[in-house]
Structure 1
C-alpha cells in the first residue's frame, strides 16, 4: 500500500498533461517525487515483472515504459536521449543483474537520482533502490570518482563560534515561525513550517557538546565516530530517537550537516556548501530548499587516551561557508565508468 504522499503525487501526475520530460521544480509539493516516495512507487509497480528472454534494447524500453506507468506518466512511443533520461524528475535508470554499475560518458552528479533495478538470474525484477550521486561516490574505493571538495579553517582563534547569526534570507520567514516539534519526530523526516529551528537556537543547544568525549575506535573509524556524534547532536536538539538515513544533510529535519574533525581539513564530499542548487527535499511553504540553505555544525576534536575530546564548535550556513573556511584542491574530476556495488547494496 502506497503512502499518502506517494499516492497523491502519482494521482496529480495522472490527472495532469505533464510528460516525463517536463521539468518539475525540485521540491514542488504537487508534482516532484522525493527519493523515498520515488523508490516506493517504483517498487510497488515494478517488483515481480518478468523480463526473461527479451533482447537488451527491448528490455530497456519495457522497463522505462513501466517506470512511466508507476509514476503516473503516459509512456511515449519512443524515448528521447536526454540527460538524465527521466529529465522531468531528474533521474536515470540502471537495470542490474550484477553488482557492477556502469555509468557511461558522464560524471556522477551529487543531486541527480539513480534508480537501480535488481533482476535475478531468472530475469525477474526483485528490488528497486534510489540513490543520489553522493551516495554512489562513497562506493568508489579508489577515491577518484568525479568531484570532491575540501576546505580548511584558518586563523579563527575562538573555540566556540556562531559565524552566521541569521539564516539565509530565503529561509528566514519559514524559520521565524518556529514553535517546536514533538520529541518523537525522527531527525530524518522532511523539515516543515513551525519545526525548523533558527540557527541561533541550534547554536545554543549544540555548544554544550564541547568537552564531550567519544571513543576513538581507531584511525580508520571516522564514519563510526561521526555516527556517535550525530546521535549526540540529535539528543541535544531534542529528538528522543536517532535515525541516520545516510543522506545529505545529516539531520534533514533541521537542515543540518554535522562534521567531526580531528584535523583542520574538512572533507565536504560532492556537496559544495555555497551551491545554490535545489535539494531533493519538498518545498517548505512554497520555498525550495537549496544546498546553501543548509546549516553546517563543525566539531573539532583532539585524541586523548583513546578518546576524541570535542574542543571546538562552529556553526555556519552553507551560503557563508567560504567567508571563513578556505576551499582548496578545487574539484577533482575523473570519469570512472564502473562502480562495484556491495553485495548487499540491492
Structure 2
C-alpha cells in the first residue's frame, strides 16, 4: 500500500522546488522565534526539521506519487529527510567551528539519489543545506543560512573523504535494459582529459599489459568497444567463484587487446594498467570497487595528468545460470555515478568544518549562498 504524500516524497520535477528567494521568504519568519533546546543532537535535529516542515506544509501539492520515481540508495541512505524541497536541516549552536556531517552521500557529487520514470534524476549536489543558528543562552533562532554543496566547497574547502568499502549498484531494471534494449552494451566515450592521450587507430601493443602506459599506448574506448566489449558478449566464464571468473575475464580482455600470452595479471588498480582499464564482474546487484572508486576523484601518483574519474571500466554482466556474459558496461569512471548508484557496505559520513564567525555575519537574517 502506498503511503500518503508528504515532505519525504520527491518533487514533481527537480526544477519545481522553491527557488532560493522563495525558500528564504518562507523560512525568514522563523528568525527570532523560540527554539527550546533539549541538548540531544537527534532530538534537536528532529525539532528543527519539524519547524522548517511546518513552513513548507502547503507544498504537498508539488509532491509526486512514489510509483512515478525510484529511490536509488538501498534503504534510502543519504536521501534528505525533506526531499520535496531538496533540503536537509542542521542545528548550529556554539563553539569556534561548526562540524558539518553529511551521512551516506558525497555532497558535491553527481551520484543519483532519485530516478524519475522518465529518466531524470536528482543527484547529491542538488541538495540544499539549511543551517539554523540557535543561541544556547536564550534559545531563540538567531539566523538561517541556506547553502549549496558547491558554495560550501568553494568557500570552506572540499569535504573530507570517508574511509569506506565502495560498491556500485546495477539494478535489475537497468541490467535488463542494457541486455534487452541496448543490444547488450552500455557505452560512454572517454573523458575530455583522456581523449588527449588516446589513439583512435588500433595498433598491436608495444608494451606489456601490466606496465603503466607510455605515450602512444592508450587506445580509445571506441577501439576497446569494437576489439573487446562486443566480442565478449555471449562468451562463457566457466569458473566456480567470482574471483576466478574475474581473472578469466581479465585474461580474455588482455588477449583481445592483442597482448602476449605471457602478460601478467597484476591484481592492482587498474587491472590492465597499460590501458588504464579496470575490469569487473557483475553477478549480483552490487559490484565491489575495491580501494579506489571514481566517486572520489583523485589524481594518479604516476607522472600522468589523469585521475580516477578518467580510468575506464569494463563490467561484464554475467548470467548465473548459463555463466555467459549477457552484456557489457564500458565507460569512464566519471560516468558510473551518473548511470548507476554508489552504495557502501556500512554507513559513512563526509565532514567539513565551517568557522562559526561565518554564521555570526548573518545574525537576524535568512540568506541563501550569501556573497562575501
User: What is the TM-score of this pair, normalised by structure 1?
Assistant: 0.48
User: What is the TM-score of this pair, normalised by structure 2?
Assistant: 0.45
